Amino acid sequence: MISESMRNTVRAKGLGALMKGAGLVTRFIPIPQPTLLVGPGSSARLGQAIAGFGHRKILIVTDSIISKLGLLKGLTDALTAGGAHFVVFDEITADAPIPLIQKGIDFYGEHDCDAIVAFGGGSSMDASKAIAVAVSNPKPLNQLAGYLKGLRAPVKIYAVPTTAGTGSEVTVAAVISDPVNHKKLVIVDPRMVPKMAALDPELMTGLPPHITAATGIDALTHAIEAFVGNWTTSYSDGMALSAVGLIFENLRTAYTDGKNLEAREKMSLASTYAGFAFTRANVGYVHAIAHQFGGLYHTPHGLANAIMLPFVLKYSHSAIVGRLALLAVAARVGTPGEDDEVLAQKFLDAVDQLNHDLGIPTFLAALKESDIPALAKAACHEAHTGYPVPRYMSQQECEDLIRKALPPKVAPAKPAPTKAAPAKKGKKA
Which parts of this chain interact with ligand NAD (CB under 6 A)? 63, 65-66, 69, 94-96, 120-124, 126, 162-163, 165-168, 171, 173-175, 203-204, 206-207, 211, 215, 218, 301-302
Q: To 10 degrees, the CA torsion angle through 248, 252, 254, 256? A: -170
Query: Kind of pairing, strands 173-178 and 183-188?
Result: antiparallel
CB of 167 to Fe ion, least distance (A): 8
CB of 301 to ligand NAD, least distance (A): 4
Using CB distances below 5 to 8 A depending on partner kind, what does residue 173 bind out of Fe ion, ligand NAD, none?
Answer: ligand NAD
- Name the segment binding Fe ion (CB under 5 A); options: 215-223, 260-268, 405-413, 416-424: 215-223
| Residue 78 vs 125, nearer CB to Fe ion | 125
| Residue 7 vs 73, nearer CB to ligand NAD | 73
| Residue 43 vs 232, nearer CB to ligand NAD | 43
Q: What is the largest CA-CA distance in the chain?
A: 105
CB of 385 to ligand NAD, least distance (A): 17
| Residue 76 vs 124, nearer CB to ligand NAD | 124
SS3 label, residue 412 = coil
Using CB distances below 5 to 8 A depending on partner kind, what does residue 122 bind out of ligand NAD, Fe ion, none?
Answer: ligand NAD
- How many CB atoms within 10 Å of residue 222? 32
Query: Kind of pairing, strands 58-61 and 35-38?
Result: unpaired
Non-local CB neighbours of 192 within 8 Å, separated by 6+ positions: 129, 132, 133, 154, 157, 172, 173, 174
Closest alpha carbon to 119 in 181, 204, 190: 204
Extract long-range pairs of 372-381: CB within 8 Å, 24+ residues apart: 372/399, 372/402, 372/403, 373/399, 375/289, 375/292, 375/293, 375/296, 375/402, 376/401, 376/402, 378/183, 378/292, 378/295, 379/285, 379/288, 379/289, 379/291, 379/292, 380/288
233-292 residues near Fe ion, rule: CB under 5 A = none
d(CA 104, CA 124): 11
Non-local CB neighbours of 362 within 8 Å, separated by 6+ positions: 307, 310, 355, 405
Using CB distances below 5 to 8 A depending on partner kind, what does residue 232 bind out of Fe ion, ligand NAD, none?
Answer: none
Query: Kind of pairing, strands 196-199 and 173-178?
Result: unpaired
CB of 174 to ligand NAD, least distance (A): 5
CB of 3 to ligand NAD, least distance (A): 37
Q: What angle do CA 15, 19, 20 make, to 5 degrees?
A: 115
SS3 label, residue 139 = coil
Distance of CA 137 to the CA centre of its chain: 26
Using CB distances below 5 to 8 A depending on partner kind, what does residue 209 bind out of Fe ion, ligand NAD, none?
Answer: none
| Residue 272 vs 344, nearer CB to ligand NAD | 272
| Residue 42 vs 163, nearer CB to ligand NAD | 163
Distance of CA 323 to the CA centre of its chain: 21
Provide Rg for the chain, Cα atoms: 24
Using CB distances below 5 to 8 A depending on partner kind, what does residue 154 bind out of ligand NAD, Fe ion, none?
Answer: none
CB of 384 to Fe ion, least distance (A): 19
Q: Does 95 bind Fe ion (CB under 5 A)?
A: no
Residue whose C-beta lies closest to Fe ion: 218
| Residue 159 vs 343, nearer CB to ligand NAD | 159
The residue within the footprint of Fe ion, chosen from 95, 126, 202, 218 (CB under 5 A), is 218
| Residue 165 vs 386, nearer CB to ligand NAD | 165
CB of 164 to ligand NAD, least distance (A): 9
CB of 295 to Fe ion, least distance (A): 14
| Residue 289 vs 344, nearer CB to ligand NAD | 289
Number of residues that bind Fe ion (CB under 5 A): 1
Using CB distances below 5 to 8 A depending on partner kind, what does residue 43 bind out of Fe ion, ligand NAD, none?
Answer: none
d(CA 76, CA 43): 9
| Residue 305 vs 346, nearer CB to ligand NAD | 305
Contact 215, 174 (CB under 8 A): no
Distances (CA, A) of 117 to 58, 82, 124, 143, 425: 7, 16, 10, 24, 85
CB of 242 to Fe ion, least distance (A): 18
| Residue 218 vs 399, nearer CB to ligand NAD | 218
Indicate the angle between helix axes 395-403 and 301-316, nearest 10 degrees: 120
CB of 169 to ligand NAD, least distance (A): 9
SS3 label, residue 116 = strand
Q: Enumerate binding residues for Fe ion (CB under 5 A).
A: 218
